[in-house]
A and B are shown apart, each in its own frame.
Chain A
Amino acid sequence: MADIVFWIISALTVMSAAFVVLNNQLVYSAVALLFTLFGTAGLYVFLWADFIAGIQILVYVGGILVLVIFGIMLTNKIKSVRISHKSMQQGVGGVVIFWFFIFLFLALTKAPWAVTEAIEPVGTVRGIGILLLTDYLLPFEIISVLLLGALIGAAVLSRGDS
């Protein structure tokens, strides 16, 4: 049962990602990105990463996707929901990416991964919180300053000259 759900979720993720990069309507791409992000959150649940899955939905679906749709709406003269945009050199790009994928596939099947089995934890929030305030305190502070800088920078950039 869990296997079937896993493969359904991964098929949803990969197929909607393909839709994102192959479809010619920009808004449809954005909506397909929603399904990719939800599918990724589902994969995190399979990986016992409950906190990351929640953050994925909060930040990606609730924040970044809304920003992307705002960006689409602000950079097009909107006549209808069909905002088309072209791709270039899909043939050459497809061939290159295909062989690159073959390379990655061979690498990941041939490599001797050292897998350590683990028991399923009750939750990861406590462990992540402890790590963030002990071992990873400096990256945590740096990333918060970076987020503040990006916030101010984005506000200043998008205000224009006035």
Chain B
Amino acid sequence: MNSLESYLFISSMLFCLGLFGVITRRNAIAVLMGVELILNAANINFVAFSKFNGMNLDGHIFALLVIVLAAAEAAVALAIIINIYNNMNTVNIDDVSELKR
């Protein structure tokens, strides 16, 4: 029934949607949501390959590490975004271009 390809199909769709969010959104928090979608897609791939490789648990370890990294990344990114908002009163990533001037 559920073949490896169906999981890879779903995760590639999630990945493409996340990438689409990252490149089209202009609110920094919405970009962060796109990154979370991409990380979820990668996690589905890890766990799917782990199951279809004879229930090898190494993929589960990688998925766990990715979840921890996502949590750390979300915390630091939101701290940075809140700092940007306090300093510049916007979270639009096109307006935050102080370093280019």
User: For the complex, is A8 an interface residue (Cβ under 8 Å from B)?
Assistant: no
- Shortest beta-carbon distance from A118 to chain B in Å: 4
Residues of A within 8 A of B1 (CB): 2-3, 6
Do A127 and B14 touch (CB < 8 A)?
A: no
Do B67 and A150 touch (CB < 8 A)?
A: no
- Shortest beta-carbon distance from B21 to chain A in Å: 4
Chain A positions 88 through 115: 1 when the CB is less than 8 Å from some CB of chain B, otherwise 0? 1110011011001100110011000111
Chain B positions 47 through 70: 1 when the CB is less than 8 Å from some CB of chain A, otherwise 0? 110111111011011011101111
Interface residues of A (CB under 8 A from B): 2-3, 6, 10, 13-14, 17-18, 20-21, 26, 29-30, 33, 36-37, 40, 43-44, 46-49, 51-52, 55-56, 59-60, 63-64, 67-68, 70-72, 74-75, 85-90, 93-94, 96-97, 100-101, 104-105, 108-109, 113-121, 124, 127-128, 131-132, 135-136, 139, 143, 146-147, 149-151, 153-155, 157-158, 160
Could you pull out 11 A-B pairs where Cβ atoms are within 8 angstroms? Answer: A2-B2, A21-B34, A46-B2, A48-B51, A59-B70, A67-B78, A68-B36, A75-B91, A113-B4, A139-B61, A147-B68
Determine the main DSSP class of B at the interface with A.
Answer: helix
Do B69 and A136 touch (CB < 8 A)?
A: no
Among residues of B, the one whose C-beta sits closest to the C-beta of A148 is B72
Do B44 and A40 touch (CB < 8 A)?
A: yes
**For the side of the interface on B, what is the size category?**
35 or more
- Shortest beta-carbon distance from B53 to chain A in Å: 5
Known A47-B51, A68-B74, A86-B26; judge A17-B83 contact (CB<8 A): no
A80–B44 CA distance with the chains assembled, in angstroms: 35
Residues of A within 8 A of B68 (CB): 59, 143, 146-147
A75–B18 CA distance with the chains assembled, in angstroms: 22
Do A157 and B79 touch (CB < 8 A)?
A: yes
Residues of A within 8 A of B17 (CB): 14, 17-18, 20-21, 97
Do A47 and B80 touch (CB < 8 A)?
A: no
Do A154 and B79 touch (CB < 8 A)?
A: yes
Chain B positions 64 through 96: 1 when the CB is less than 8 Å from some CB of chain A, otherwise 0? 110111111111101111110110000100100
Do B60 and A52 touch (CB < 8 A)?
A: yes
Residue from A87, A105, A158, A160 within 8 A of B26 (CB atoms): A87
Residue from B19, B37, B65, B94 within 8 A of A20 (CB atoms): B37
Besides the known contacts A47-B51, A56-B43, A68-B74, 20 further A-B residue pairs in the complex with CB atoms under 8 A apart: A2-B1, A14-B10, A21-B18, A26-B29, A44-B44, A48-B55, A49-B47, A55-B64, A68-B78, A75-B28, A75-B81, A86-B26, A97-B19, A97-B23, A101-B16, A104-B12, A118-B54, A154-B79, A157-B79, A158-B78
